[in-house]
Amino acid sequence: MKYALTHHGYRKEDCVQEGNSFLVGNGHIGYRGTLEEYRASEQVAWNLVGIYDQRGSKWRESFNLPNPFFFETYFEGKRETVHDCHPIKHEVSLDLETGLFSRHTEFPTYTIASERFASHEDDRLLAERIVIKAKKAGRYRFVFGVDPEIWDIHGPHFIAKEFAIDGLSVSFKGTGNEGGVLREQAQYQCSSSSVHPLSESMFEALVDMDAGQEFSLDVLAAVFEGEESMEFLGFDVAKERHVQAYSRKRANAYIEIQGNEEADFAIHYSVYQLLALGDSKRARGIPARGVSGQTYKGAIFWDQEIFLLPFFALTDPSVARGLLEYRIKSLPGAQAKAEEFGFEGAFYAWESQENGKEACSKYNVTDPVTGAPVRTYFSERQIHISADIPHAFAEYYKTTGDASIFQEGGAEVIVECARFFLSFAKERPDGLFHLEDVIGPDEYHEKVADNAFTNYMVKKTIDLAIEMVTRFPNRFEDPALLKRLVDFRQRLYLPRPNKGGVIEQFQGYFDLEDVGVKDLAKRLTSEKQYWGQIASSTRVIKQADVAALLSLLPDEFPLEVKKANLEFYLPYTEHGSSLSSSMYGLLGLACDDVEGSYALFLKSAKIDYEGASKQWAGGVYIGGTHPASNGGAYIDAVYGFCGLDLRGNIPSLHPKLPQEISGIRFRFQHRGKHYFASVTHDDATLKEELE
């Protein structure tokens, strides 16, 4: 297998990271890359996208379901798992070409081999095959079934759990704190007939085995939100269908980096993680930590619009459309939020759940030492979300040419976002409209005025709204709206570069203490301390902010300005968010810093299997996978290194390849046509392909 992530050797402390790295998912469900004998304490999770539950006043978050793959082996009455003895050999692997996870472990008395997938053919289905091969003759006891213990961050979420065994099948019905009902069906097929129920969700098999003899167990499990059921096909059929469906998606998202195995593997891994999130049916959005668990409440952030949508728009427009449909469905929630804060229009949730419900707490971080909640203003002040969403509608249209999205609710989203900004802005004595008391992408500086990123993105929203109102005049009731938009557009304050070409991130930023990232780190009182507590009075920023503006709106500023800002802001950037590196990578490429960008690209693409990412924001756990980083790496490769330009009717390529690689080839779709692109240091070709 050329494209397989493999870890050799067993280290208990790797269980959390491996859970992320070896995850399987299909956009609806995800199952962490954990071992069969693991339980809640090792963060086993079967995570479900888009259905949420709140326990009392704790944070509302997505559901994890009971684990159907629990399995333990006993030999002559003694348990023998990784908890009991160090394996002689151990290997876990993820085949990026088939989306199959596998595990091989050798113990003194037996070996265990397992294979699992989250079906890309039927997204409710998880499947696993476990094969035990005896090394010693004797009595083996296998305990398996659905583990009732669930890893919840802010749970428990099921206030009622009903399990029932029927033959070799376990059914589960769980009722959440909010009354929601989820059902799970797990079917077991086993090579032995001496299987007995052990509890309401577990079985035991007692088997006398000779050395070399095998015991096998197939598990097929599905989750249901209603009364539906599923006729389980055998493991082999389900696997074949999954592999075919996954391979089709992978072929559409084909990308290969030539001349460098590390970079090639990294982009394949990123694409794997992205494909694990694509859902074209349900329009529920993609959570910031994907399907790796309940971190960040399973909520949808701007990550979706800015970092993920570009990949899907190029490789599977139906998924990209679903992401926008999620925002269309969430419009009433965004309107309600705007009203709650005394504004008009649509103020989208910073951490969005179903129907646009805001999940972001006022105290989104805790002090790791005292445990005291830290007041944050993310939900109230990170208004750029209502500009990021219109931007994504425009990007989707630019890539796919699908104007129907505007007719089917997109126009209303854009105009409502614009109306929000009209009501939010303050007209000041200079005769201009200012956006005050906001937070830009750099969350360490809260309640600032005229964040450059926000103001320019708002300008784009207003331009789009003017276009929508002009195009669909009968859809918008207010006869004065167009005039108001045009006036606002002319008088919106837009920070300009200073003499040195640097754009001030927000009013007063230049006056803050001039300290670098490393020196500021010395002020941390604990490793886990939230940097926002020490960075706010300094120039140190969490993540790409002005850099994000220059990358997302590249036509707004000339090259000298881009260079000046890259040079100025990079040393102050902590990259405390996984969203940061790829944005700087893209900006670096615009500034011809190809080698610097290459390092940032690799950092983004490798984050979930070799990278270091923050696990804590103060006392709040933020671990899991990093889809935005994977999406950002893809953007760097395609729009950066290959210089894909979709501004005209026909796409074009303007490559800037780093020395470390010899070429990139990729497939994409543009306005209903399929293309195959190939770039090297000397050449760039684009061929239209038949579907």
Binding mask 625-664 for ligand IFM (x = CB under 6 A): ---x------------------------------------
Measured in degrees and rounded to the nearest 5, phi and psi for residue 153 equal -85, -45
- Binding segment for ligand IFM (CB under 6 A), chosen from 233-241, 300-308, 394-402, 598-606, is 300-308
The distance from CA 311 to its chain's CA centroid, rounded to whole angstroms, is 12
- Amino acid found at 92: V
DSSP conformation class of 31: E
Tell me which of 62, 577, 625, 630 binds ligand IFM, using CB under 6 A.
Answer: 577
Token pair 């646009």 in the structure block, residue:
356
**In the set 296, 453, 506, 584, which binds ligand IFM (CB under 6 A)?**
296
222 versus 546: smaller Cβ distance to ligand IFM: 546
Q: Of residues 148-207, which lie at the interface with ligand IFM (CB under 6 A)?
A: none
579 binds ligand IFM (CB under 6 A): yes
Complex with ligand IFM: residue 303 or 380, whichever CB lies closer: 303
CB neighbour burial string for 391-428, b if at least 16 within 10 angstroms, e if fewer: bbbbbbbebbbbeebbeebbbbbbbbbbbbbbebbeee
- Of 66-74, 299-307, 311-319, 532-540, which segment contacts ligand IFM by CB under 6 A? 299-307
Compare residues 462 and 628 and give the one whose CB is closer to ligand IFM: 628
Residue of 36, 121, 443, 446 with catalytic role:
443
Toward ligand IFM, which CB reaches closer, 81 or 578? 578
Query: Measured between alpha carbons, how far is residue 490 from residues 432, 472, 482, 486 in Å?
Result: 9, 22, 12, 6
Q: Return the structure tokens found at 9.
A: 């050797």
Instruction: Give the Cα separation of 429 and 165 in Å (integer).
Output: 73
Least distance (Å) from ligand IFM to the CB of residue 586? 16
Contact with ligand IFM (CB under 6 A) among 15, 65, 125, 288: 288
H helix intervals, 429-480: 452-471
Q: Please spell the DSSP secondary structure of 505-544, one letter per residue.
A: SSTTGGGSB---HHHHHTT-SSTT--THHHHTTBS-BSS-
Q: Which one of 63, 301, 326, 634 is in contact with ligand IFM (CB under 6 A)?
A: 301
Spatial distance between the Cα atoms of 289 and 303, rounded to a whole number of angstroms: 10
**Residue found under tokens 């490793």:** 527
Active site residue 72: no
Q: Are strands 373-374 and 426-427 parallel, antiparallel or unpaired?
A: unpaired
Size of the site for ligand IFM (CB under 6 A): 10
Cα gap 453→547, rounded to integer Å: 9
How near is the Cβ of 626 to ligand IFM at its closest, in Å? 7
Residue 303 touching ligand IFM (CB under 6 A): yes
Alpha-helix residue ranges (DSSP H) falling in 606-682: 627-635
- State how far the alpha carbon of 269 is from the alpha carbons of 120, 261, 319, 609, in Å: 17, 12, 19, 9
Nearer to ligand IFM, 92 or 583 (CB): 583
| DSSP annotation string for 343-382 | -SS----SSB-GGG-B---SS-EE-TTT--EE---HHHH-
Stretch that binds ligand IFM, among 14-22, 298-306, 411-419, 676-684 (CB under 6 A): 298-306
Positions 221 through 280 that interact with ligand IFM (CB under 6 A): none
Q: Does 379 bind ligand IFM (CB under 6 A)?
A: no
Among 25, 440, 441, 651, binds ligand IFM (CB under 6 A): 441
Q: What's the angle, vertex CA 186, arms to CA 184 and CA 192, rounded to 5?
A: 165
Nearer to ligand IFM, 218 or 303 (CB): 303
Interacting span for ligand IFM (CB under 6 A) from 136-144, 234-242, 295-303, 449-457? 295-303
Q: Choose the stretch contacting ligand IFM; rule: CB under 6 A; options: 106-114, 132-140, 296-304, 581-589.
A: 296-304
CB atoms within 10 A of CB 138: 15
Catalytic residues: 443
- Positions touching ligand IFM (CB under 6 A) are 288, 296, 301-303, 441, 443, 577, 579, 628
